Structure 1
């Protein structure tokens, strides 16, 4: 079903609305309760968007592959090029029905970015589970570093808790770039299950096992998150200017991977090579016990 608000996916428990703008989920309801919040994208109407051909920022708006230097121009109000192109561009519907939609994006190199690629995304709902699959294929003549990710904006309540097995905490330095590794702060102890800190956080965690749990006691809803094994990084974001959402973002690489050892997990794809990633969220009713 498609109308002026986008394509609707529904399975009896989940109602998910998908927009071709940014290839994004614009809303998600579980048994009528909003579990995503529209707070992202260029117009703040996206509730989840794909990170392609990589996520987060690139320091200096440039990077090297061997002796080749590539440059970006800012693609938003941020002074650094951020989150790739998928969240900003119009995707094309390939296939759609009441429970599944497949979208494609053909992006050509331009004066903003040197990346040339095709991205494919499949979003589906079934028995309370939202599944998102994403792939990218390098169409440039030369090798380029690629990564993938998902940027959901989860509904925030006072008592919501997040639990995830992680190993390494990355501090944040100027420019919202990853800083030195440090001890995990007590107020975001994800491994033990944490409520959300009152302060601003925007940090990467690496060594993630690809699984997480979210529990909203006030709503009587829980969610089991599972990402494909190549998503061993997660970004955890709690803003202070808005208190109605938080972000838990699976990624295949660290932010600013272009300037980190081993590309921070970015994969150097030869022309024609592909990278794939997947992420699912199983929603269910939970007791408050």
Structure 2
């Protein structure tokens, strides 16, 4: 049996990383020897990316209502609100392990902390300069519940890192790190151009995203093309310019979707119904012309 403390190597001729069974996430990611996704310490260890399942971000009041019934959640980290689902905290089982492809599985049963019962699988693979993250979830419960998927990658933050994405809406933040109001894109944080990140705390959702984004590190001569079909939302998080990382988190739904109209894009999965998502990150060398 593979120890949870021993990450599984995952590598191609250009990408070098590892997979942790605790949290089902990636260790630091290096492309052509350049660290592009740093491993950030947290309750799930040092990870550069982890899966969001059965949904991402926070749930206000640690509860939600559906069909006249109230469903209760319990805080699952130091945050007072239930955060990021279960997959990032649980131990995943290895279904397949190759040098360039690892498949993991997870089963969640209802408990005092969550009403969700589901089976999840994810396949993490590399091929040349391409990193692929595929995620699957099936409702194993006896009643329909809202589900969503996503990934939570940490990218290297340098002084002149650039982020570009086609989005239409921006959500301000209120107390509890919850989304407040959908507004026009702010002048200092408009990713539709070749934007640098402002030197302030960032924790905002963008919606109307077409699922494509580009991150460029001019001082490293490297860029990354993110492709996330069916992910119409991205969370941008950065605690500060000095933190050394920022997050561009593809999600199929808005944060706190349980309390938004039409569940903010969360899908109501009937018992036995499933959904999938795939996100790819294609790294490139810009300094080779």
TM-score for the superposition, normalised by structure 2: 0.96
Aligned equivalent of 1:178:
179
**1:94–1:102: 8 Å Cα contact kept in structure 2?**
yes
Aligned equivalent of 2:218:
217
| Comparing 23-32 and 47-56, the one that deviates more | 23-32
| Comparing 41-50 and 204-213, the one that deviates more | 41-50
Rounded to whole Å, the distance in 2 between the matches of 1:288 and 1:75 is 45
Rounded to whole Å, the distance in 2 between the matches of 1:47 and 1:287 is 24
Q: How far does the alpha carbon of each residue in 1:57-115 deviate from its partner, in whole angstroms, 9 at most, with x for none?
A: 00010001101110011000111000000000000010010100000000111111111
Structure 1 residue 187, shift from structure 2 partner = 1.3
Aligned equivalent of 2:132:
131
**CA separation of 1:21 and 1:241: change in aligned 2, threshold 3 A:** farther
Which SS does the other structure have where 2:159 is aligned?
A: coil
Q: Which runs of 4+ in 1 moved over 6 A?
A: none
**CA separation of 1:41 and 1:107: change in aligned 2, threshold 3 A:** farther
Aligned equivalent of 1:264:
264
**CA separation of 1:120 and 1:43: change in aligned 2, threshold 3 A:** closer
Q: How far does the alpha carbon of each residue in 1:41-66 deviate from its partner, in whole angstroms, 9 at most, with x for none?
A: 41451110000000000001000110
Once the two structures are superposed, the pairs formed by residues 48-87 of structure 1 within 5 Å of their partners are: 48-87=49-88
**Structure 1 unaligned residues grouped into runs of 5+:** none
Aligned equivalent of 1:278:
278
Once the two structures are superposed, the pairs formed by residues 17-36 of structure 1 within 5 Å of their partners are: 17-36=18-37
Q: Across the two proteins, how many residue pairs are aligned to each other?
A: 288
Structure 1 residue 37, shift from structure 2 partner = 1.3
Structure 1 residue 243, shift from structure 2 partner = 2.1
**2:200–2:241: 8 Å Cα contact kept in structure 1?**
no
**1:105–1:119: 8 Å Cα contact kept in structure 2?**
yes
**1:22–1:41: 8 Å Cα contact kept in structure 2?**
no
**CA separation of 1:242 and 1:52: change in aligned 2, threshold 3 A:** farther
Tell me, yes or no, if structure 1 residue 121 matches structure 2 residue 122: yes
